[in-house]
Amino acid sequence: MAKKQAQGLGDTVEQITTATGIKAAVEMFSKATGIDCGCEERKAKLNQLFSYNRNINCLTEKDYNALTDLIAPSKDTLTIEEQNVISEIYLNVFNYRLQLSSCGSCWKGKIDELRKVYNEYKLND
């Protein structure tokens, strides 16, 4: 099986902890205690803060129109359906699949990234 290329520091940390057995130990502890380790949220945050070079693709007209409603500044929560749409747009633009999560700050960061791309298109209208 081919190793997935790290998208950021979070993926690199996960690869190291997997290779050293730390991840398996943490998962076993988490399963035994029922306490979520927060690994996925931490990985997403580290990837967001310290992402490696990414190619950015153009927005499609469909993605642009969907973002018009989804990135409204007053929007405080996202439904699962909205998360799915944002995740697909993010994959199309940044070539990285987001994990669905209840982590509001994780989504805020990703939406802010999409907003920057969206605003570039808006300026050129």
Q: How far apart are CA 102 and CA 44, in angstroms?
A: 12
Segment 84-95 shows an average pLDDT of 92
Under the banding of pLDDT at 50, 70 and 90, the label for residue 125 is low
69 pLDDT above the threshold of 90: no
50 pLDDT above the threshold of 70: yes
Token pair for residue 8? 């950021």
Question: What's residue 31's pLDDT?
Answer: 92
Please state the pTM of the whole predicted model: 0.57
Q: Which residue has tokens 């927005």?
A: 59
- How far lies 123's CA from each of 23, 86, 120, in Å? 45, 21, 5
